[in-house]
Structure 1
Amino acid sequence: MELYTLLRAFADSWMLLFMTLFFVGVILFAFRPGSRRVHQETAGMIFRNDDCPAPEKETR
């Protein structure tokens, strides 16, 4: 059996299964219970050091 044929058969069967399971695992990790607080904290990090609104620029 050629190396290409062997690798192609592996990629078509087991690697496809592995990649599908990895994708499902990442999705489940992102939407796991209790992760809402972490995602909200991460989304608000850029505003953490803001004490007041930005001043409005004068238009001419």
Structure 2
Amino acid sequence: METYTAMRHFADSWGLLAMALFFVATVLFTLRPGARKGAQDAADIPLKDD
């Protein structure tokens, strides 16, 4: 039962911090200035003629 308590405390503190940092990094990566062209190219793939 001690392992569960230790893992629970870890998840409540550092695990939450890691998930929050991952979320912020993902949003910033997606919204970076150079991402628009790549996203537009990917969005246009289904509309391209073969």
Q: Same fold (TM over 0.5)?
A: yes
Q: Which sections of structure 2, spanning at least 5 residues, go unmatched?
A: none
Scaled by the length of structure 1, the TM-score of the pair is 0.77
Scaled by the length of structure 2, the TM-score of the pair is 0.91
User: More helix per residue: 1 or 2?
Assistant: 2
The total of aligned residue pairs comes to 50
Please list every run of at least 4 consecutive aligned residues from structure 1 whose deviation after the TM superposition is greater than 3 angstroms. none
The higher-RCO structure (CA 8 Å, 6+ apart) is 2
Q: Which residue of 2 aligns with 1:43?
A: 43
Q: Which sections of structure 1, spanning at least 5 residues, go unmatched?
A: 51-60
